[in-house]
Amino acid sequence: MDKKVNTEKINHLLNKMIDNKSVFSAVMKVENSAGSFSWSGAAGNMQVNSRYFIASVTKLYITALVMRLIEENKITLNDKISKYLPEHFYDRLHVFKGIDYSNEITVYHLITNTSGIPDYFFHKQENGKTAADELMEGKDEPWAIDRTIELIKKLKPKFKPGAKRKASYSDSNYQLLGRIIENVTGKSIGDVFHESVFSQLNFNNTYIYCDPTDETPVPFYYKNKKLWLPKYMASVGPEGGIVSTVDEVMLFLKEFFSGRFFPKEKIGELKKWNLIFPPPGLFLYGIGLEKLWIPWFVSPVKHPGEILGFWGQTGSFAFYNPKTDLYFCGTTNQINGKGHRLATGAMLKIIKSVL
């Protein structure tokens, strides 16, 4: 960093996020690799040590698990998913324009969102609604993988697996990845996370949400409506079920990019980018890794360079900016997109302030 980070500026940006109309709570942590700079703060209905749903930031932890399994020679990205899943899962899972591609889908297709498998969460069902619509209305239901598979087989795939320059974000891919990890290890995804990540980093506040009676995590919102969906959150472990704190997300994020779970030099191999269009947003997606889409014309003088990590649907975020060596994590607990925009703006302003 050429300049020192202005902590008053960060605090101001964080407090500006709270409008008491759609964003009611927020927490953020900013730190560099060495830890010589570290700032954290909370606003609204949160404290710095509050536990929150990290939502799809969970997928970055899945990336760590998959890359670790690759290093242990237990799996490869080119493996067909039929090698690890029962036939009734993949049978006619992907029929596109009359051709069954189900047996051509690989682990690579899942983790890069290039499988073409529709997203059970955002894809419209026969009644014209999506699973997301019903959840946003407060209809709390579990979405176990068997239910997801049943729905996917009734939906039209986006494209054939691995189609050139085609990518579509799909939570369904990660439900399948979660089951593959379970079948390869012979353990539940919660146990794998605990043994391979949480206990390795001595976490005390991070866990897979699996008990619908657990009211510890801070609730999230859709617009001005508080959503409490314990049955749903307890059913989606590998795609978005981790609960954590900013301190422990920060530690994971730094260990992810420093080579704790797989060789650091392989981070470059994850950067095989495809542009993801809404839903759920506009960003670049690689091998289990996201990059914020920041075109040069937006900031031609002080372009931030790469901002790598992951978004969560609940306004959660975990990103690293190599150009300034700054890590960012936190949440705005807001699903409608406003929290994501505010978090993006805050990260960009902090990065530009030290360039």
What CATH number does the domain containing 147 carry? 3.40.710.10
Question: pLDDT tens digits, residue range 267-313?
Answer: 999 999 999 988 778 899 999 999 999 888 777 788 999 999 999 99
User: Three-class SS of residue 165?
Assistant: coil
Of 298, 306, 346, 312, the C-alpha closest to 325 is 306
Does 1 fall in a domain?
no
For 40-86, the pLDDT digits (tens) are: 999 999 999 999 999 999 999 999 999 999 999 999 999 999 999 99
190 in a structural domain: yes
The pair of structure tokens assigned to 308 is 């790598």
In a domain, 347, yes or no: yes
Which pLDDT band, with edges at 50, 70 and 90, does 127 fall under?
confident
What's the mean pLDDT in 28-44? 97
Task: Copy the structure tokens of residue 17.
Answer: 């996020």
72 belongs to a structural domain: yes
Give the C-alpha separation, 91 to 153, whole Å.
9
55 within some domain = yes
Domain span including residue 69: 7-354
Q: Is residue 2 in a domain?
A: no
- Report whether 53 contacts 61 (CB < 8 A): no
Number of domains into which the chain is organized: 1
* 2 band by pLDDT with thresholds 50, 70 and 90: low
Return the half-sphere exposure (C-beta side, CA atoms, 13 A cut-off) of residue 125.
Answer: 13
User: What is the average pLDDT score of the chain?
Assistant: 95
Any domain includes 46: yes
Q: Helix (H, G, I), strand (E, B), or coil: what is residue 340?
A: helix
H helix intervals, 53-106? 58-71, 87-90
In which order are the strands placed within the sheet that holds 207-208? 52-53, 242-244, 207-208
Q: Using pLDDT thresholds of 50, 70 and 90, give the confidence band for residue 128.
A: confident
Q: What is the mean pLDDT of residues 81-105?
A: 96
Is residue 199 included in any domain, yes or no? yes
Structure tokens at 9: 């500026």
